[in-house]
Amino acid sequence: MIEDWQKLDSEKTVRILGEINPYLEPIQFDPNTVTIRSQKLSFYKEYTFFELTDISAIPGARKYAIYKPGEVNVINWTNQIIYEINEKAPILLNKESVSRYVRFFFNYVRGRHGRFLIIETIDDIRWQIEPPIQGRKVMQEMLEPIMLIDQNSEDVFNLEAFMIFKDSLFRTKIQVSSDGFVSMSDEDLKIEGMPVLQDSFG
């Protein structure tokens, strides 16, 4: 996922951490060891997205929160928290922002068996064993960026994307309603048994 992160200075880190820390479990972050980065999300006009990282902890700790003054929403890797924010914000989707919303949604939602990871170039794949040069070339020629197909009369955006789930690459259609509800259909398996690293999150 292409992200435009901005690192917070120490003064803003202390201030923002003071608001977010009470919502973090099981432990809170120390302002002396945490790094906070922020980015604006075009589909949430009044909110900022924060990444909080503490590499001094073992293992390293990382949390994400969608924030506006007086309101903290910690990412818990379910679609429920995103759908709740969609309603509160409310979400603003158009032909320019819907692809970024889809990337965001699948990057920060994890089902019981893992995440569906959008793959737009071969560099998005986390290999356990690098494929041979010819294999990389064939795969790169097959892959395409997420594509908006159309927006129908019910204000549903129809997109297509390549995804990896566990060790399988497939192409799928993605439907996004105007309120941000996401669904998938017509999955077309392309490659299975790929030597990729198991998905990690958190």
- pLDDT at position 200 is 64
The pLDDT value given to residue 201: 53
Determine the pLDDT at residue 4. Answer: 86
Predicted local distance difference test score (pLDDT) of residue 112 = 83
Confidence (pLDDT) at 90: 96
**DSSP classification of residue 120:** S
Is 166 in contact with 154 (CB distance < 8 Å)?
A: no
| H-helix or E-strand spanning residue 175 | strand 168-176
Q: What is the pLDDT of residue 25?
A: 85
Enumerate residue ranges in the chain where pLDDT < 70.
1-3, 200-202
Residue 182: its pLDDT value, please?
A: 97
Task: Read off the pLDDT of residues 58-91 as tens digits, 9 standing for 90 and up.
Answer: 777 899 999 999 999 999 999 999 999 999 999 9
Cα first-last separation, the chain: 15
Alpha-carbon distance 164 to 140, whole Å?
A: 14
Taking the model in full, what pTM does it have? Answer: 0.91
The amino acid occupying position 193 is G
Contact, 14 vs 28, CB < 8 A? no
| Helical segments of the chain, H only | 10-20, 79-88, 98-107, 133-142
Q: Which residues contact 24 (CB under 8 A, 6 or more apart)?
A: 52, 63, 74
Instruction: In whole angstroms, give the CA distance from residue 91 to residue 89.
Output: 5
Owner of token pair 């075009």: 42
